[in-house]
Amino acid sequence: MPELPEVEVICQGLQKHILGKTIEDIYCSGKQLRVPVDCQGMQRELCGQQISSLTRRAKYLLLSMKNGACLIIHLGMTGNVGIFKQGTARKKHDHICWQFDDNQEMRLNDTRRFGAVHLLPAKEAKRLKKDFFAATGPEPFARNCTASYLHKRAANRSQAVKSFIMDSRTIAGIGNIYANESLFRAAIHPAKPVSSLTESEWRRLLTIIRKTLRHAIQCGGSTISDFVNASGDGGYFQMNFQIYGKNGENCVACKETIQKTVIGGRASFFCPACQREKD
């Protein structure tokens, strides 16, 4: 599933292609995604309208129009968005195509159809957007995402630290890959009770989370399964993985054998020497 860096890379890649353009028509395959696709609603709210901004919130893309309407796009597990010339052959799993006034179109391709496109009509968009993200925590790079905030939120909780930082109600956008990588680089066991971390440890972990995410964005994200960016290229941060997917391999820091466990239903990788569960 595309995580924060992958979605940010797609967002940045698309911006130069679509900002200021007018949507002339919209094609839908007729197949439903995770939520029903309101193709008629999109045609009513978006056609003839100019795109004013494309931003990211958590793992979502937010496409805003000059009339106030907004699309909230989630890429699911295998979704990606790219720009193509109108008239070029569409692929089997191109489920939504937004056609622009410059003979190009933006296509949402989603093989497994776990993605979603939410339409926020112009008259209600501000309220609906606020409601949609009401339970979403701060962005990892935001000023209000601090070590003190995390330390206080974790107080008296026995939850594993990995599950805690992957909870979008705590921090927005941190998925399994970058939780694994950040905890290894911070030398924190993924199953460690979250309430046991000191504010100093939170400060170090937050710094490492930010460095890891920034590095991944610079690398164009990680090519896991079907991720490609807006230009159709894969990312290469996976070449910098130090722990994720390396069960049975030697730790890059101490040569101990990396182990795998399951935490919160997700594969978790750790070095038993570098990331001691109990100090």
List, for residues 90-132, the tens digit of each pLDDT value: 999 999 999 999 999 999 999 999 999 999 999 999 999 999 9
Output the CA angle 40-44-49, nearest 5 degrees: 135
Q: What is the pLDDT of residue 27?
A: 97
What percentage of residues in the chain have a pLDDT greater than 90?
76
Please name the amino acid found at residue 152: K
Q: What is the pLDDT of residue 52?
A: 98
Is the separation of the CB atoms in 33 and 115 below 8 Å? yes
pLDDT mean over 70-78 = 93
Q: What is the pLDDT of residue 221?
A: 54
Give 176-190 pLDDT, tens digit per residue.
999 999 999 999 999
Q: What is the pLDDT of residue 1?
A: 66
- How far apart are alpha carbons 9 and 61 in whole angstroms? 11
Q: What is the pLDDT of residue 161?
A: 98
Q: What is the pLDDT of residue 224?
A: 42
Domains of the chain, start order? 4-132 (3.20.190.10), 147-270 (1.10.8.50)
Q: What is the pLDDT of residue 239?
A: 52
Q: Indicate if the pLDDT at residue 12 is higher than 60.
A: yes
List active site positions. Answer: 2-3, 59, 266
Angle between helices 4-18 and 199-218 (to 10 degrees): 40
Q: What is the pLDDT of residue 230?
A: 57
Give 184-236 pLDDT, tens digit per residue.
999 999 999 999 999 999 999 999 999 999 988 887 655 444 444 555 655 44
Angle between helices 199-218 and 176-185 (to 10 degrees): 120
Q: How many residues does the chain have?
A: 279
Q: What is the pLDDT of residue 100?
A: 96
Q: What is the pLDDT of residue 226?
A: 41
- How far apart are alpha carbons 200 and 167 in whole angstroms? 21
- How far apart are alpha carbons 94 and 262 in whole angstroms? 34
The residues, any chain, with a CB within 8 Å of residue 218's CB and separated by 6 or more, are none
Q: Closest Cα to residue 79, out of 55, 63, 95?
A: 95
- How far apart are alpha carbons 186 and 267 in whole angstroms? 18
